[in-house]
Structures are given as structure tokens and as C-alpha cells.
């Protein structure tokens, strides 16, 4: 469970979210529908994943303020999927996946290759593992970012916009994987934009005036 309590998110004097109080429950997928290009949802997700700090308030993972977790523990428990960027351009995909796991000492070295190949195969990008990020299309790069997040097998997964340009077949495969993650008791939160299919999500939120509103 991820709980947001009196959360204020912003930067450079700009308040993006104010007094956000919401609970993302384990075993479910939540779709946060964007209000616009600069609505702050990317920053909000990065706060939830412990990548950036909120201006005030707190984010709790199973009742524990994530600010009190070690870097290794946050990395192991909270996973973030970038929409763009996030990869080291001079490394192959395989090394982009493997090196963070080695650095944070999350899994034994002899398990890492199996994890990488398993997830890459499920996302149908195993043939791209020796490619560098700049050799990929936008869709392939988003799938690679999702793979890196899934390989970690964290308790909570925060996904920035994913669907744009993706074929129906690819997206259906991604949805099936995310539903399986939720069925395993994980928290899955994803940002969607106008036109995205999010009917599979268990909960839907809309960004409005710096707060999250439930969608009936």
C-alpha cells in the first residue's frame, strides 16, 4: 500500500499538487488521467517512487515514510518507469538493466541474467538487448523502460505515459502483464493521456486544479 498524506508537490516556486491525500491499494491498477502537458503527473510519480522529494507532506509505504528508507530499500520496493530518457545512451539495453541491479545489490549476480531475459521475452524485446537506446524507436524505448522497472520486481510500480504509438497487440500484451502484477498483490499506478485505453484499471483518477479526483 502507498499512502499520500497532505502532499504538496512542486519546484522553482511552482505548486503542482497541493494537499493530496490518497491511498493506492495493493493488488490493483490505478490510472491517473492527465489534465495537460504540464500538469505535474510525472513529478508526482517520481515523488511516489522516492526519486524526488515533495515540498511537504509524506508518502508512506506500508505505513513507513519512504524518506526513512535507505536508498537500496527504496530502489528495491518502489519502481519507476520513465516515459522518455532514463537510459545511459552508451550502454546496451542489457547493461542498462543489469548495472543498477548490481550497483544496488538487489539480487545475486547469477539471477540477474535470467530475470532480464525472462522479462524482455515477455515484452517481446529480447532481440533488442544488445541495442543501444539511440537505436530504438520511441515505442521500443518505452517498452525497455517498462522492462527495467519490471525486472526489479518491486512492490509498487509507477508508470509514466506508455501507450502512445503502440500497436494494439503490443499494448494488450502490456496490459496482461500489468494485470498479472496486480494479481500478485503489487501496487500499479500509471499515468494515461487523452485517447489512452485505461478501461482495465481498477481505479481512475483525474488531475484537476492540483488535486486528484476520483472518476465515477
Query: What strands lie across the sheet with 56-61, from one edge to the other?
Result: 14-24, 2-11, 56-61, 64-65
pLDDT of residue 91: 97
Question: Which of 82-86, 135-139, 153-157 is predicted least confidently?
Answer: 82-86
pLDDT of residue 67: 93
* CA–CA distances in Å: residue 3 to residues 24, 59, 182: 6, 6, 17
Checking if the pLDDT of 215 tops 70, the result is yes
Averaged pLDDT for residues 87-93 = 95
Residues with Cβ within 8 Å of residue 89, at least 6 apart in sequence: 132, 133, 134
Cα separation, 75 vs 50, in Å, equals: 8
Give the model confidence (pLDDT) of 20-62 as tens digits.
999 999 999 999 998 776 778 999 999 999 999 999 999 999 9
Averaged pLDDT for residues 200-207 = 94
Residue 83: pLDDT band (50, 70, 90) is: confident
Give the model confidence (pLDDT) of 110-123 as tens digits.
899 999 999 999 99
Checking if the pLDDT of 216 tops 70, the result is no
For the chain, give the mean pLDDT.
Answer: 92
Checking if the pLDDT of 144 tops 90, the result is yes
Superfamily for the 27-39+70-214 domain: P-loop containing nucleotide triphosphate hydrolases (3.40.50.300)
The residue with cell 490518497 is 22
* DSSP per-residue codes, 106-162: -S-HHHHHHHHHHHHHHTT-GGGTTS-GGGS-HHHHHHHHHHHHHHTT-SEEEE---
Identify the CA nearest to 190 among candidates 48, 67, 75, 55: 48
Label the pairing between strands 28-33 and 203-208: parallel
Residue 201 CB neighbour total at 10 angstroms = 23
Residues with Cβ within 8 Å of residue 134, at least 6 apart in sequence: 89
Cα separation, 69 vs 84, in Å, equals: 27
Residues with Cβ within 8 Å of residue 207, at least 6 apart in sequence: 32, 33, 34, 35, 39, 40, 41, 213
* 77 touches 115 (CB < 8 A): no
pLDDT of residue 37: 66
Q: Report which DSSP code applies to 34.
A: -
Amino acid at each position: 500500500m502507498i499512502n499520500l498524506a497532505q502532499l504538496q508537490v512542486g519546484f522553482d516556486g511552482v505548486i503542482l499538487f497541493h494537499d493530496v491525500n490518497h491511498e493506492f491499494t495493493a493488488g490493483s491498477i490505478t490510472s491517473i488521467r492527465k489534465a495537460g502537458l504540464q500538469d505535474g503527473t510525472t513529478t508526482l510519480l517520481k515523488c511516489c517512487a522516492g526519486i524526488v522529494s515533495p515540498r511537504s507532506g509524506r508518502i508512506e509505504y506500508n505505513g513507513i515514510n519512504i524518506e526513512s528508507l535507505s536508498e537500496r530499500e527504496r530502489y528495491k520496493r518502489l519502481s519507476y518507469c520513465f516515459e522518455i530518457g532514463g537510459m545511459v545512451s552508451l550502454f546496451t539495453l542489457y547493461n542498462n538493466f543489469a548495472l543498477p541491479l548490481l550497483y544496488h545489490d538487489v539480487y545475486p549476480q547469477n539471477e540477474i541474467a535470467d530475470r532480464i531475459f525472462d522479462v524482455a521475452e515477455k515484452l517481446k524485446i529480447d532481440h533488442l538487448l544488445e541495442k543501444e537506446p539511440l537505436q530504438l524507436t520511441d515505442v521500443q524505448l518505452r517498452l525497455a523502460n517498462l522492462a527495467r522497472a519490471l525486472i526489479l520486481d518491486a512492490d509498487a510500480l509507477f508508470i509514466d505515459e506508455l501507450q502512445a504509438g503502440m500497436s494494439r497487440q503490443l499494448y494488450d500484451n502490456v496490459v496482461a502483464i500489468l494485470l498479472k502484477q496486480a494479481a500478485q498483490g503489487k501496487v500499479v499506478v500509471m499515468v494515461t493521456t487523452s485517447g489512452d485505453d485505461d478501461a482495465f484499471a481498477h481505479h481512475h483518477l483525474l488531475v484537476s486544479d492540483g488535486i486528484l479526483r476520483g472518476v465515477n
